[in-house]
Amino acid sequence: MHTTFERLRELLAEIHDLSAAMSLLEWDMEVMMPPKGAVARGAQLATLAAIRHRLQTSPELARLLDDLARRTTDSDEARLVAEARHDYERATKLPESFVRRFAEAQSAGYNAWLGAKANSDFAAFRPHLETLLELAREATGHYGYEGSPYNALLDNFERGMRAERLRPLLADLAARQKQLVARIVEHQAPRNDAWLEGTWDIAAQRAFSLRVLADMGYDLDAGRLDTAPHPFCTHFDIQDVRITTRYDERDPFSALFSTMHEAGHALYDQGFDPAWNRTPLADAPSLGIHECNSRMWENIVGRSEAFWTHYLPVLREHFPGRLDGVSVGQVLGVVNRVAPSLIRVESDECTYNLHVIARFELEMDLIEGRLAVADLPEAWNARYREYLGIEVPDDAHGCLQDVHWSHGMFGYFPTYTLGNLYAAQVFETACAEMPTLWDDIAAGRLLPLREWLRTKIHLVGRRHMAPDIVRSITGSEPAADAFLAYLERKFGAA
């Protein structure tokens, strides 16, 4: 028995190591690689992906899983066998010919999207998107599903969540958030940010970010902070979890918040149970629960009055003389400004979900066959008019702005909003269980929150699905009430 389980762990570790090697090549591609390395890098990644797929679908793995399913009783071991079985089945459900066609369509789609976005030329992207949508719909058939075919795709990103639950949850959220945004915008104080003018030294921005990272408990001996065009977090092991950010010389906050966001992801990855390193149990069960961590640190903590009570004086030390006359209130006025806008990744906390919900509804319509790709730009613009009250001037600022669909990733978007909802719900419980939490944050003591998240979420890994984790922490189902109450408290009185 023991040897069989040990053999399973060996196989899972090999699969993990190949994934880690691929992630390292991808990290290098974003951070270090010279442009001419791109073609060879594509080939290297494809070779590793093929070897990994062979291991993931090997007859030996299938035999071990069958064997252990009958004999394993220890709860962690049984959990690992079940998760490995899930991964095995997902990997074997897609025929190899489909995987190849999909990979080709992804790379053609991504390249076409880059050009189409640069020229705001939807017609150039349209045939690729049609192919990718067709393939996504074909994938739902291979995976199999109950209810909406969207569920088969959602499973790749947010296991345990269903379209039938999401649809009413997000429709209700959109209606309530739309009203709230209208009210806030009407009563918001005029801009008061002349003090931001001029340049903000990038070395000083980086030093300030590193100070906050250290306070958050991000282990820099098991991580790195680099720059990349699109900030991200990646990990190859619990002891090697890297983040990237990007700096804006005109804005001292943009890099900080993207760094705190990615560090929220990184604390999760550094906090998995070491006993199950190199297995699926040392991983997150969904993207939504990952975003729960990143958004909590970036928004609930990073954009709070308590945080800036401590960190405005620290920021002053990094920019001598620049912030002497600036108050915490003025900083909050800048970092919490609410304004309906065109671009999701630049949007504020109050309008962000509206961008996501528009995408979720559009991709549900695409996958369920109610919307043709040709009609997407018009449908997109109508959603923006309805939810954000703004006119989309061109497709580059509309339906071509995000990369996800060019990779054939349908079902990804709602995880962003679920992350916001989970974060508000989980943070409410954190406050109830740690009555001094806000005082700690106001004194620059960020470790108690990290420790609490470590016990409640990080160490759990994939033993439970995201909705179950949220329910076990908060005692209630994932819902929108805590998030709306949070927005109301923070912005409603404005």
Least Cα distance to 263 among 218, 198, 214 occurs for 218
294 or 406: CB nearest Zn ion: 294
Reduced to 3 states (helix: H, G, I; strand: E, B; else coil), residue 278 is coil
Q: Which residue is nearest to Zn ion (CB)?
A: 294
289 or 449: CB nearest Zn ion: 289
Residue 460 is given by DSSP the state: T
Residue that has been written with the tokens 């209630």 in this structure: 476
Q: Which of 234, 294, 347, 474 binds Zn ion (CB under 5 A)?
A: 294
Cite the active site residues: 262
Name the one range near Zn ion by CB under 5 A: 60-68, 288-296, 473-481, 484-492.
288-296
Name the one range near Zn ion by CB under 5 A: 134-142, 252-260, 286-294, 299-307.
286-294
Min dist CB 323 to Zn ion, Å, is 28
177 or 420: CB nearest Zn ion: 420
Give whole-number Cα distances, 94 to 29, 101, 325, in Å. 27, 11, 61
Residues 229-248 vs Zn ion: string with x where CB under 5 A? --------------------
Min dist CB 352 to Zn ion, Å, is 12
Min dist CB 217 to Zn ion, Å, is 18
Tell me if 217 sits within 8 A of 450, measured CB to CB.
Answer: yes
432-461: which residues touch Zn ion (CB under 5 A)?
A: none
Work out the end-to-end distance of the chain between its first and last CA atoms, rounded to an integer number of angstroms.
63
Residue that has been written with the tokens 């903000």 in this structure: 200
Min dist CB 411 to Zn ion, Å, is 16
Residue 50's CB is within 10 A of a number of other CB atoms, namely 12
Q: Helices marked H in 94-219 — which ranges?
A: 96-119, 122-143, 150-154, 163-187, 202-216
Reduced to 3 states (helix: H, G, I; strand: E, B; else coil), residue 228 is coil
Min dist CB 326 to Zn ion, Å, is 29
Q: How many residues bind Zn ion (CB under 5 A)?
A: 1
Structure tokens belonging to residue 42: 């594509």
Residue that has been written with the tokens 């999909």 in this structure: 102
72 or 294: CB nearest Zn ion: 294
Q: Answer positive or negative: Cα dihedral of 215, 349, 340, 323.
A: negative
Cα angle 103, 107, 108 (rounded to 5 degrees) comes to 115
Structure tokens belonging to residue 133: 């949508």
209 or 294: CB nearest Zn ion: 294
Name the one range near Zn ion by CB under 5 A: 15-23, 72-80, 289-297, 428-436.
289-297
Tell me if 247 sits within 8 A of 229, measured CB to CB.
Answer: no
Show Cβ contacts of residue 20 under 8 Å, excluding neighbours closer than 6 positions.
235, 236, 237
108-137: which residues touch Zn ion (CB under 5 A)?
A: none
Name the one range near Zn ion by CB under 5 A: 163-171, 241-249, 292-300, 454-462.
292-300
Min dist CB 298 to Zn ion, Å, is 8
- The residues of the shown chain that bind Zn ion, judged by CB under 5 A, are 294
